[in-house]
Structure 1
Amino acid sequence: MKIKSIILYICIILVVLAGILFGAYRYFFGGLTQDKAFAEIAANQADRLAVNDETDLENANIVNIAIFGIDSQDSDKGRSDATMILSVDYEHNKIKLSSIARDTLVYIPDKDVTEKFTHAYAYGGAQLAVKTLNTNFNTNITDYVAVNFSEMAEIIDLVGGVEVDLTEAEREQLPDNDSLSVGENITLNGKQAVFYSRIRKIDNDNARTSRQREIMACLFRKARDMSATQYPTLIRECLSLCTTSLDYTEILSFSQILLQKDLKLEQFALPGDSVDAWGGIMSSSGAWCYVYDLREASDALLTFIYESIYTNSDIELPPATVDRSAVN
């Protein structure tokens, strides 16, 4: 009888623990919108993402994730108004952010057209946008996160806004700007930060992507400075606002690097100063675009992400998918 009571007691404890774990899972990850179809393609049909074994550096302890900011209320549709590659670099203990200008002229596979990169997401969602990245920049990305800009404002408000260096010309482009001053470390709320990241009229696409990286860098710093008791709410709320190919175990694994005390954050942009770029009019549509040698751009991007792992490799990049002859 005593043995039966002990067994019953153990079973009750196990049931309670299982309930607690399930409740914790639902609390943290119940709002996660995982793109399981994309994850299935990445796992079993990598050719549909243009993953190229000849330029693969998968043995490097570096994970690359595409981040798309979508100008639509639906993260499955719309153009990618902001595109970055988030590199979680365990090899060098770094987080790296690489921007690709939205107006970069690229070859869009499946559609078999040469157009602005921003159109790839509208044509085929995350799958075609990632395939376009891999095709043109010789990356081998198999994961992504997408967030529309209205949701991005909510994420920024969750951390209490972001601090940026604000000029008068930028201030004039922002909503509710009467109380804003200009200078360093000016706090913007979510709505203002989204407008800030999308400013186009006062300068160029390089400045625009720089502002976008500035916002992302501030978000990373804010997340690192938060106390452990604040993380549950942040994780739960942020995951509910994103669509991603990652599952919860992968997200937890990647987040561990934020706890490293000597973690560095580095930034890079294309075209930036790495390659010669020209603005021109596409012959096919008459639209303005950025044109640069995408083989040179690939070389600069891979050097930034992988450092000596790439430069010491024997990888031979294929010819550029786009060159200056594509514009008038």
Structure 2
Amino acid sequence: MEEEQQSRTLQRRKIRRRRRRKRIAVFFITVATLLFLVVGGGLTWAWSQISGLTNDTFKPLPREISDLRPDQESVNIQDDHVSVLFLGVDSREGAVSGRSDAMILATFNRDDSSVKMLSIPRDSYVEIPDRGSERISHAHAYGEHDLAVETVENFLDVPVDYYATINFQAFIEIVDTFGGITVDSDISFSEQDSEHNPDAIFIDEGEQELNGEEALAYVRHRNTDGDLARGNRQTEVIASLINEATSISNISNYDDAFKSLENNMNHNIEGFQELIAFHSYASSLDSMERFQLEGTFERIDGSEVIVIDDTSLANARLKLRNHLELDDPEQP
């Protein structure tokens, strides 16, 4: 009887450990795949897979801590509220460079394990350090993640503690790995494919299943309804892919998802222990607050850009700074 009780206790402990591993890995790929990619985990081999991936794709920022944290010497994921900038770039397999077609800043509050996610339109007209005023998507093309992080910080007045950049090849492969995603499109439209063939992909209006190529077209399209509507589609895809990736039926596909990331992403999350510290947020991913900057289209120097509304910018700045529990710099 005693041996049977001990066996049950050990079994319960194993189940709890497996659940914890799944939460950690699910959150990591939300970070690792930037805006849309949660590949999860739940098997013992996931520990070594994630650890190896973090080492192979690690590229630090040229600083220890953001200048917007003047009262801190360091940021610790285990103890601090932190932010992560997710960047999606249009580059070929094996390269993580070029303009950022997707840019999302997420903040994580340690006290209540909540997540907020701000979508920044790629055509936002902002000041890029040493380059002047241009579309914010150009920052990554000029200086990769270093300049993209600096530009976002200057624009939002919110510290960027971590970043994760992924190219669209990995996005396509991971969507296909999990058997596609479900979306509900407000409009029908055609869009180029990943090889830039015009009108190669057609999206119907209404609910439908999309494969990797179709999902990429869905999150990139803006010709019909603009950059702001595209931001809504990107956050919709995040939620849908989280749902697919955490499905028990997709456990056998995690290994392929990790392989898709190996040569197609960069990040500055140093070491496996930092990733473990993120596990408490995994249960909040399906209820995270998603919002985006609003603005108006204007033609400046021959290019159509989005001039972000001052009120929208101020509200987003305040919401993210409050979530990080930072003092308002405009207050005494």
TM over 0.5: yes
2:328 aligned partner, one-letter code: I
Between 138-147 and 80-89, the greater mean CA deviation after superposition:
80-89
2:91 to 69, 72, 92: 72
What SS does structure 1 have at the residue aligned with 2:184?
strand
Q: Contact 2:107–2:115 at 8 Å: present in 1 too?
A: yes
Q: Cα–Cα, structure 1 residues 232 and 252, in superposed 2: closer, same or farther, change >3 Å?
A: farther
Kindly, what percent of the aligned residue pairs are identical? 26
Say how many residue pairs are matched: 275
- Corresponding letter in the other structure for 1:122: A
Task: Name 1:251's counterpart in structure 2.
Answer: 275
> Shift in Å at residue 157 of structure 1?
1.6
Alignment-mate amino acid for residue 125 of structure 2: L
Cα deviation for residue 128 of structure 1 reads: 0.4
Unaligned runs of 5+ residues in structure 2 are 1-44, 194-199
Q: After superposition, where does 1:235-250 map in structure 2 within 5 Å?
A: 236-237=258-259, 239-240=261-262, 241-247=264-270, 248-250=272-274
Aligned to 2:68: 51
Q: Offset at 1:89?
A: 3.1
**Aligned-partner Cα distance in 2 for 1:88–1:292:** 24
Provide the rounded CA distance (Å) in 2 between the counterparts of 1:261 and 1:76.
Answer: 29
One-letter amino acid matched to 1:210 = N
Secondary structure of 2:108's partner?
Answer: strand
Structure 1 CA distance for aligned equivalents of residues 187 and 225 of structure 2 = 13
1:106 partner SS: strand
Q: Which has the higher contact order (CA 8 A, sep 6+)?
A: 2
Alignment match, 1:190: 212
1:134 CA drift (Å): 0.4
| 2:200 paired with 1:200 | no
8 A Cα contact 1:50 1:134, kept in partner = no
CA distance in 1 between counterparts of 2:183 and 2:268 reads 30
Amino acid at match of 2:220: R
Q: Are positions 1:140 and 2:147 aligned together? A: no
- 1:307 and 1:314 map into 2 onto residues whose CA distance is 8
Q: Distance in 1 between matches of 2:221 and 2:215?
A: 10
Are 1:152 and 2:174 counterparts?
no
Q: 2:299 maps to which residue?
A: 281
**Contact 2:180–2:212 (8 Å) recurs in 1:** yes
Q: 1:299 aligns with which of 314, 317, 323?
A: 314
Shift of 1:125: 0.6
What SS is found at the alignment partner of 2:161? coil
Inter-partner Cα distance in structure 1 for 2:167 and 2:277? 24
The 5 A counterparts of 1:44-193 are 46=65, 50-53=67-70, 61-73=80-92, 75-109=95-129, 111-170=130-189, 172-173=190-191, 182-184=205-207, 186-193=208-215
Deviation at 1:151, TM superposition (A): 1.4
Letter aligned with residue 114 of structure 1:
S
Bigger CA radius of gyration: 1
Structure 2: distance between partners of 1:141 and 1:120:
15
**Matches of 2:139 and 2:201, distance apart in 1:** 34
Could you tell me the TM-score, scaled by structure 2's length? 0.71
Offset at residue 35 of structure 1 (A):
3.3
Q: TM-score, normalised by structure 1?
A: 0.71
Alignment-derived partner of residue 231 in structure 2: 209
- Following TM superposition, by how much is the alpha carbon of 1:269 offset from its aligned partner in structure 2, in angstroms? 0.2
For residues 63 and 236 of structure 1, the distance between their equivalents in structure 2, rounded to whole angstroms, comes to: 24
The 1:280/1:253 distance shift into structure 2, 3 A limit, reads same
- For the residue of structure 1 that corresponds to 2:97, the secondary structure is coil
Task: Tell me the alpha carbon deviations over residues 252-303 of structure 1, each in whole angstroms, 9 at most, x when there is no partner.
Answer: 3224421x379622201012xxxxx332122xx3211111355x44431234
Aligned amino acid, residue 242 of structure 1:
M
8 A contact 1:174–1:196 mirrored in 2: no
Amino acid at match of 1:254: F
Pick from 250, 262, 268 the counterpart of residue 291 of structure 2. 268
